[in-house]
Each structure stands twice: as C-alpha cells, then as structure tokens.
Amino acid sequence: MVNYLYIDDESLEVTELIAKGLSTKKELKVTAIQHKEWNEHLKQIDKEIDGLLLDWDLSKKNVDGVKADFSQEAFAQQIRKDIVEKKRKSIPIIICSAQHNFRKFYDKELIAHDLFDLVLEKNDLENDITIDYLVDLAIGYEQIATKKYESILGVKNDSSIDERFLEILKDKVKVLPIHEVAQYLYKSLLKPEGILIDNYVLAARLGFSYEAYKDSKDWKLLSKKLKNVQYNGAFSIVYPNWWSVKLEEWWHKTFKNHLGLFTAKEKIVTLNKKLKTNFKISELAKHSKSEYYWTVCKNSKVPIATEDGILLKSSERRYPWIGDSYICFEEALRNPRQISVYEKDRISKLKKRLEKTLYK
C-alpha cells in the first residue's frame, strides 16, 4: 500500500474528509495533517511516507494559532535538497489548490515546475482517477529506483527507442536523484509528442477522433489489439501513451504498408475491415484540406495533418526527438497571439479570403 501525507492549512475536519475519500481503495492511504512551524513541519515527513500532497496556500493559522512563515514551494525545495543529501528517500510531491484559476497562475510560476510531479485543483481530489494517479506516481518512483531502463520504460529491449533519449536516461539514473529522473521523463518522453503519442494522437494517426470513441467498445477492442504498442513504463496511468514507432511497426506488419501513406478514410476502411469495428473518419477540421491526419490541435484536440497545422509560438523543442506543436485554423483565428511568427502570413491570407467570401 502507498502512504501519502496531505498537508493543508484548512481545519482537519475538512481535510480528513478529503483524505478519507482518497483512501477508499486498498492501494492508497492518505493521512491529513495541518502545517506546523518550519522544523516541526519537516519532521512530519518520516520514512514511511511514499508521497506528499501539498496545498499551495498556507495563509490560515493552524489549530495552535500558528501561521506558516514559509511557502510550500520553499518546503518542497527543502525536501528535494534533503533527498540530494541522502537525508530522506525520494518521493513524489503533488501540489494542489482551491484557488480559482490556479493552473493559470502556476503556469507562470516557472521555478516551481521542477519541484512538483503533478498539479491538481481541489475538486480533482474528489475524482477516483486521482487515487490511481497518486499510486502511479509512487510506483513510478520505485520503478526509477531500480535504475534499469527496462523496468522504468516497461520494455524488454531498447531496439525501437530513440538512442539519444536512452543515453541521457541511462546517465541520469546513475547519478541523479529519482525526482530529477522523473522530471526528465515528464519533459522528454511523457508530455510532448515525439517518442510517445497520447490517445488523441494515436486515434488521429488511425483516422478517427479519440473524443468520439473514448468510451466505446471499439476503442477497448483496438487498445487490446495494440497491447504491444502501449507504453507500460513509469507514470503510465497519469500519462497514458503509445510508442509512436511501434504503432507504425504494427501497421506495417498487419497491413504490409506504411501508415503515413494512407489517408484517414483509407485507414478507417482498412482498420474496420480487419478488426470488425465501426470507427468513422474524423471530419476535416474547418479550413483544413488534407486527410493525412498525423497530430491533433493542441487546443481543440481535433485530428489534423501537419500541413494544416498552424505552428504554435511556444513550440520550444527542448530535445531533438520532440516534434512541433500545432493548432487548427479555427483556433489560430481565435487565438492569433498563440501562433508562431512563421505562420502570421498564412493566417492573414486566410483572414482576407474569409472576409472576401463574407462580403460577396
């Protein structure tokens, strides 16, 4: 069983209820406590704790009338420092807040991004999936502790994994604490589209919209068929993903041709015939022309071909194996500030065309 400590400035009457809600499955036990003064606060994190759930805001006084004279960010930083100095074991730290628009605020707090493993809003704590997330993070830390890439990535061999990614991973597990390896996995593998692709991109590459089929029998059947394509390594519940290369290999093996050569329509027909499913092709996104869907719009998640994608301004490629991020035309028209300087001309031409048709 995984043990989490939940630290909040709210009264225990409130937080114990939340902790109880999170402890309904046998895999997880959450204990709620209130903040204390700095030294006492730190002492509460004993060896039995597998993870921390911290409330961002510590502005209220605790039951003894003590107000925290530190932030959770500083506290998390101290925990990470202690781990580096081998004073305590490496554990995942999750930050949560009831603050309205907390995520927006957090997105600007860049220094904190390397400290926390997951960001939750308070209402997320009522969702069952959060239990799975907390357990997954703690187990992921254990997988990294093995220092073996096979167990971290859930693979038998490294034949289809980008060797540059793997080389860095192997170096990091040797010398860095677990939370640093976890951050590397989040940023280089699990969050961006590249070596791995998420459910939306997988569905787009096969010609349909994940949103339309995520609860369907057909999706379940397809997932079963693609069992060997699925990513089963560390943090695979928080970040459900698929190996991009393995999907292409599966398609090639099954249909004797390359996935990229088929239009969405051709892929859907081929897939339905083989699996006896009823997937329907995702309609072209507004103003798009190509049916060679390969990615999704980062905002709306509609499948698009890369040629119809508008490059995002924030498309920072930290690692060479990561691809660009795109939005669809409609989102680009709605959010012109998001688009890359390379795309300004393309969008202004589209705008002019639309204006012409409007005034005709």
Partner 1 sequence: MSLANSLRKMGILLDQHWCRNVTNTDVLQSNIKTLGYSIRKKPLIFKNINVGKHIRPNIDLNKSELQVKLCSYLNLEKVSNRYTLKSLGLNINVEGKCSMKENKEEKDLMFSFHIDYEGNSKSEFYHPISHLQIGSDAIKDSDTGSLLKVEQPRFSHYPMDVILAIDFIIHNFYTNEQHKKFTSLPAYRNIVKESATKYIKPYIESIYSYWNNEIENKDFKPYDAICSLPK
Burial of 49 (0-12, 13-18, 19+ CB in 10 A): middle
Kindly give the interhelix angle for 264-275 and 244-255, rounded to the nearest 10 degrees: 70
d(CA 75, CA 68): 11
Beta strands in 165-299 (DSSP E): 196-198, 241-243, 295-296
Rank residues 126 and 171 by Cβ distance to partner 1 and give the closer one.
171
x/- mask, partner 1, residues 230-259, rule CB under 8 A, reads: ------------------x---x-----xx
- What number of other Cβ atoms are within 10 A of residue 240's Cβ? 15
Rank residues 31 and 244 by Cβ distance to partner 1 and give the closer one.
244
Q: Which stretch binds partner 1 (CB under 8 A): 17-25, 48-56, 151-159, 305-313?
A: 305-313
Q: Establish if 261 lies at the interface with partner 1 (CB under 8 A).
A: yes
Burial of 167 (0-12, 13-18, 19+ CB in 10 A): exposed
Q: Which stretch binds partner 1 (CB under 8 A): 54-62, 139-147, 153-161, 339-347?
A: 339-347
d(CA 321, CA 169): 14
Angle at 130 between CA 124 and CA 135, to 5 degrees: 155
Q: Which two tokens stand for residue 113?
A: 């991004």
Q: Establish if 290 lies at the interface with partner 1 (CB under 8 A).
A: yes
Q: Establish if 318 lies at the interface with partner 1 (CB under 8 A).
A: no
Cβ–Cβ < 8 Å for 241, 223: no
Cβ–Cβ < 8 Å for 52, 8: no
Among 25, 128, 286, 342, binds partner 1 (CB under 8 A): 342
Q: Establish if 353 lies at the interface with partner 1 (CB under 8 A).
A: no
- CB 198, min distance to partner 1, A: 17
Q: Is 353 helix (H, G, I), strand (E, B) or coil?
A: helix
Q: Establish if 307 lies at the interface with partner 1 (CB under 8 A).
A: yes
d(CA 22, CA 16): 10
d(CA 303, CA 291): 9
Count interface residues toward partner 1 (CB under 8 A).
27
Q: Which stretch binds partner 1 (CB under 8 A): 2-10, 166-174, 273-281, 289-297?
A: 289-297
- CB 344, min distance to partner 1, A: 10
Rank residues 131 and 189 by Cβ distance to partner 1 and give the closer one.
189
Q: Which of residues 190-209 bind partner 1 (CB under 8 A)?
A: 194
Q: Which stretch binds partner 1 (CB under 8 A): 15-23, 45-53, 153-161, 321-329?
A: 321-329
Q: Establish if 105 lies at the interface with partner 1 (CB under 8 A).
A: no
Among 38, 70, 255, 321, binds partner 1 (CB under 8 A): 321
d(CA 317, CA 296): 17
Residues that bind partner 1 (CB under 8 A): 162-164, 194, 248, 252, 258-261, 290, 292, 294, 305-307, 311, 317, 320-324, 342-343, 345-346
